[in-house]
Amino acid sequence: MRSGDQLVLLLIIGIIGIALFMGLRSRLNKSAQSKWVLVPDEEIPVTDAVALLENAGYEVMTTKRKIPIRMLVDDQEELFSRYFVDHFAQSEDKWYVVKIARSRNPFEMRGSSIRDQLLPYQLIYLEAAGVLYVDVSLQKIVKIQFELEI
């Protein structure tokens, strides 16, 4: 090998090293950022729940959203289910997952009920400031914020 060849080889190795470093840094930055973005709907039908939220100072951002869930049981049986979010709403710089009370699915304001029925929404949308539970029949909005003590 000539002396010039060694310099070219070192340059190539340096360029490859820098490219790998930049690619790894970019990938780490992307994984740290949220992959989910709240895209507001252009038009929100005004229902009793939407009116209640707006009168309380919230801006309703979306209509109902479906969250599909695929589950693999024992590495072979594939099951499907879904969660539904009634709305996303914003107040100041914070946004919330909105669940509307249903008469066919009564809800008790107890720790275990809140955990079982509403915590999954907070865990799905970690960026949310909390969950708004809207009971139109009582004209009530309950803001629930979760703190995990790990």
Q: So what's the pLDDT on residue 59?
A: 94
Higher pLDDT, 36 or 77: 77
pLDDT in tens, 4-27: 777 777 778 888 878 777 777 766
Q: Classify burial at 46, counting beta carbons within 10 Å of its beta carbon; exposed 0-12, middle 13-18, buried 19 or more.
A: exposed
Average pLDDT of span 119-141: 92
Q: Is it the case that residue 102 has pLDDT exceeding 50?
A: yes
Mean pLDDT of 95-99: 95
Residue 18's pLDDT is: 82
pLDDT in tens, 49-69: 999 999 999 999 999 999 899
Q: What is the mean pLDDT of the chain?
A: 85
Share of the chain above pLDDT 70, in %: 91
The confidence score (pLDDT) of residue 8 equals 77
Supply the pLDDT for residue 150: 78
**Residue 22 dihedral angles phi and psi, to the nearest 5°:** -65, -40
37 pLDDT above the threshold of 50: yes
Give the position of tokens 């099951």.
79
Question: Per-residue confidence at 32, pLDDT binned at 50, 70, 90?
Answer: very low
What pLDDT, on the 0 to 100 scale, is given for residue 2? 64
**What is the pLDDT confidence band of residue 82, given thresholds at 50, 70 and 90?**
very high
Within 13 Å of residue 62, how many CA atoms lie on the same side as its CB?
A: 17
What pLDDT does 106 receive?
A: 75
